[in-house]
């Protein structure tokens, strides 16, 4: 006989861990979490400064990449997704951004009723524990610990000061009332450890007797009878097993794997499914469509003083940092090193920020390749709301095969214009007096790269994903032919089945997606349990009073 549960959650990632915790709070609910990945124990995941390792390791990462991107010279871009307890929150950069208030009001305008900023703010406050944040806007006793860095390096202060000198505002809390401006970046780190969704939600909840976690489980499909999800079929150790859900199945498997599992289960574009010999349960054209991401460039500047992380880019220093972290959970190993940031607008007439900056006192790539020049610093910069849309589709009907991912990056002229603006605005910031004591030559793009054409060539060759894929199971009104789930995360056209993760975002949010993904899990849990949503907030976020006429 198959195992019987009330709820089955597919995926122990950012949203899945939050839901596992909330659904199992009631001891009468029997909850199963299925996760293909394994344990998150070990310093490569738990030490914040080691972040470039797990996202490049097949043991922790699904190893996805895009199809050759037609507007980027046929380059294939890496698409890391966490294959481990905690999902991508266990391999990400630990940057914590809620998104701008207007992002969620836009969701509501797009048909996700009940997901405006006034509705989601209470869930952000419920999930956070951040005593440093702006009073009245931030949570102080939630499971997700959020903190700021020590700003040990003077370059962190120089970045903020340069922004002010260039005429931009400062924000004391970009996750509070005012996102726009230069300020301190927040990270999901607690007592020197990566504070993933697994550490925050799943591990404490597993102490309850009514929550079960099965690792190494590859979900093959959702079992559907009479248009109702009744369980899942999964493979573990070469054996195919079935688990039955009395109440609901919830997919929380990422913006790549959630649409993949829906399509393998017969929910998706009918013509594609029929071509692969999959019986159509529900013809939903939006499954796998609407794929969005953030792209970014690394604008790198040489540093004339030997103060950057480059001095630690040797085995001896790394061993010392690792030992200090291992024994004391402090020092450079306890930070992701993204401690300053900014959100600004590309031009007058843009209502809220559409550029994000991560500042790093080092010239290095996400894959850990340091700039040959030695000491340097860099800003990761990119536009927040590209109009480009891609798709995820099955490459076969075999659950073990990787899906086909095409982002269709840079397919709009505006994308090129916005990226050129990003480069020029960054150069202006780096040219301010605050950087004068440190500023050497521009490493990348380099002083010779000035014309629109030269900048476009640089962008085409060097732009990288910020690893924020979302949108492939869009939430919207139930009569929207491209919506996959309704505003309560229920799959339209199939009973007893929901999706709750970054795939349901109608539009990508400002900044990193871990925070909004956890919030989706928190809010979805209330919908699943049939609880009244938390009362809406009446807080009014800050919008630049002269945004129509002023860029800064």
**Domains and their CATH numbers in the chain:** 1-45+83-147+188-291+392-399+470-533 (3.50.50.60), 150-184+295-383+411-462 (3.30.410.40)
- Phi/psi at 42 (5° precision): 130, 150
> Which secondary structure element, helix H or strand E, spans residue 359, and what is its range?
strand 355-360
pLDDT the model gives residue 404: 98
How far is Cα 325 from Cα 319, in angstroms, rounded to an integer? 10
Is 14 a known ligand-binding residue? yes
CA-closest candidate to residue 90, choices 127, 123, 129, 41: 41
Consult the annotation and say whether 92 binds a ligand. yes
Query: Was 30 annotated as part of a binding site?
Result: yes
Peptide bond preceding 445: is omega within 30 degrees of 0, i.e. cis? yes
Q: What is the pLDDT along the chain (552 residues), one digit of tens a residue?
A: 568 999 999 999 999 999 999 999 999 999 999 999 999 999 999 999 999 899 889 999 999 999 999 999 999 999 999 999 999 999 999 999 999 999 999 999 999 999 999 999 999 999 999 989 999 999 999 999 999 999 999 999 999 999 999 999 999 999 999 999 999 999 999 999 999 999 999 999 999 999 999 999 999 999 999 999 999 999 999 999 999 999 999 999 999 999 999 999 999 999 999 999 999 999 999 999 999 999 999 999 999 999 999 999 899 999 999 999 999 999 999 999 999 999 999 999 999 999 999 999 999 876 666 666 799 999 999 999 999 999 999 999 999 999 999 999 999 999 999 999 999 999 999 999 999 999 999 999 999 999 999 999 999 999 999 999 999 999 999 999 999 999 999 999 999 999 999 999 999 999 999 999 999 999 999 999 999 999 999 999 999 999 999 999
Instruction: Count Cα atoms within 13 angstroms, Cβ side, for 39.
Output: 3
449 marked ligand binding residue: no
Beta bridge pairs of residue 508: none
Residues designated catalytic: 468
Query: How crowded is residue 253: how many other Cβ atoms within 10 Å of its Cβ?
Result: 28
278/120 Cα distance (integer angstroms): 37
Per-residue pLDDT reduced to its tens digit, 79-113: 999 999 999 999 999 999 999 999 999 999 999 99
239 is in an annotated binding site: no
Contacts for 203 with CB less than 8 Å, ≥ 6 apart: none
Known binder of ligand: residue 410? Answer: no
Rounded Cα–Cα distance for residues 240 and 123 (Å): 37
With vertex at residue 399, the alpha carbon angle to CA 393 and CA 400, rounded to the nearest 5 degrees, is: 105
Look up tokens 């080092």; give the residue: 362
Residue 208 exposure: Cα atoms within 13 Å on the Cβ side: 20
Radius of gyration in angstroms for the set of CA atoms belonging to the chain, rounded to a whole number: 23
Which of 126, 127, 121 has its CA nearest to residue 108?
121
Question: Which pLDDT belongs to residue 15?
Answer: 98
Is 249 known as a binding-site position?
A: no
Q: Among the residues of 244-374, which ranges form H helices?
A: 254-264, 270-275, 315-328
Say whether 22 counts as a known binding-site residue: yes
Distance CA 394, CA 402 (A): 8
Q: What is residue 82's three-state secondary structure?
A: strand
């Amino acid at each position: 006989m198959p195992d019987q549960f009330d709820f089955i959650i597919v995926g122990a990632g950012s949203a899945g861990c939050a839901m596992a915790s909330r659904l199992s709070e009631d001891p009468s609910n029997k909850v199963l979490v299925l996760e293909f990945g394994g344990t998150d124990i070990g310093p490569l995941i738990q030490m914040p400064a080691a972040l470039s390792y797990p996202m490049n390791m097949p043991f922790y990462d699904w190893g996805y990449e895009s199809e050759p991107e037609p507007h980027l010279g046929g380059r294939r871009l890496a698409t890391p997704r966490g294959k481990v307890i905690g999902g991508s929150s266990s391999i990400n950069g630990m940057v914590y951004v809620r998104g701008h208030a207007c992002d969620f009001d836009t969701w509501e305008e797009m048909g996700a009723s009940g997901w405006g900023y006034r509705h989601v703010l209470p869930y952000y406050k419920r999930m956070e524990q951040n005593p440093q944040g702006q009073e009245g806007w931030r949570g102080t006793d939630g499971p997700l610990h959020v903190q700021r860095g020590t700003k040990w390096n003077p370059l962190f202060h120089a970045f903020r000061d340069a922004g002010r000198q260039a005429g931009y505002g400062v924000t004391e809390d970009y996750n509070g009332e005012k996102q726009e401006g230069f300020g301190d970046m927040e990270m999901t780190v607690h007592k020197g450890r990566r504070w993933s969704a697994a550490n925050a939600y799943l591990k404490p909840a597993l102490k309850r007797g009514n929550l079960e976690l099965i690792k190494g489980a590859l979900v093959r499909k959702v079992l559907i009878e009479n248009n109702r999800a009744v369980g899942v079929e999964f493979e573990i150790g070469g054996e195919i097993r079935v688990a039955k859900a009395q109440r609901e199945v919830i997919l929380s498997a990422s913006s790549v794997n959630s649409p993949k599992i829906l399509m393998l289960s017969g929910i998706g574009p009918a013509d594609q499914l029929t071509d692969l010999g999959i019986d159509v349960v529900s013809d939903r054209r939006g499954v796998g469509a609407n794929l969005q991401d953030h792209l970014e460039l690394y604008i790198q500047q040489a540093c004339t003083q030997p103060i950057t992380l480059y001095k630690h880019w040797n085995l001896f220093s790394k061993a010392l940092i690792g030992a200090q972290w291992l024994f004391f959970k402090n020092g450079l190993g306890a930070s992701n090193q993204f401690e300053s940031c900014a959100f600004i607008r590309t031009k007058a007439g843009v209502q809220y920020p559409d550029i994000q900056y991560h500042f790093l006192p080092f010239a290095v790539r996400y894959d850990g390749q340091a700039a040959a020049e030695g000491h340097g610093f860099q800003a990761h910069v990119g536009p927040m709301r590209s109009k480009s849309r891609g798709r995820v589709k099955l490459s076969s009907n075999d659950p073990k095969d990787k899906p086909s991912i095409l982002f269709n990056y840079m397919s709009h002229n505006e994308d090129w214009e916005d990226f050129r603006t990003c480069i020029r605005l960054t150069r202006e910031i780096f040219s301010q007096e605050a950087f004068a004591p440190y500023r050497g030559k521009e490493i990348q793009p380099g002083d010779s790269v000035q014309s629109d054409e030269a900048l476009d060539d640089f962008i085409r060759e060097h732009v990288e994903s910020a690893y924020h894929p979302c949108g492939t199971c869009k939430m919207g009104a139930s009569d929207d032919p491209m919506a996959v789930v309704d505003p309560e995360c229920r799959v339209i056209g199939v009973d007893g089945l929901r999706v709750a993760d970054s795939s349901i975002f109608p539009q990508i949010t400002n900044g990193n997606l871990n925070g909004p993904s956890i919030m989706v899990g928190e809010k979805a849990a209330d919908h699943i349990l049939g609880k009244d949503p938390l009362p809406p907030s009446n807080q009014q976020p800050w919008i630049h009073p002269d945004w129509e006429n002023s860029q800064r």
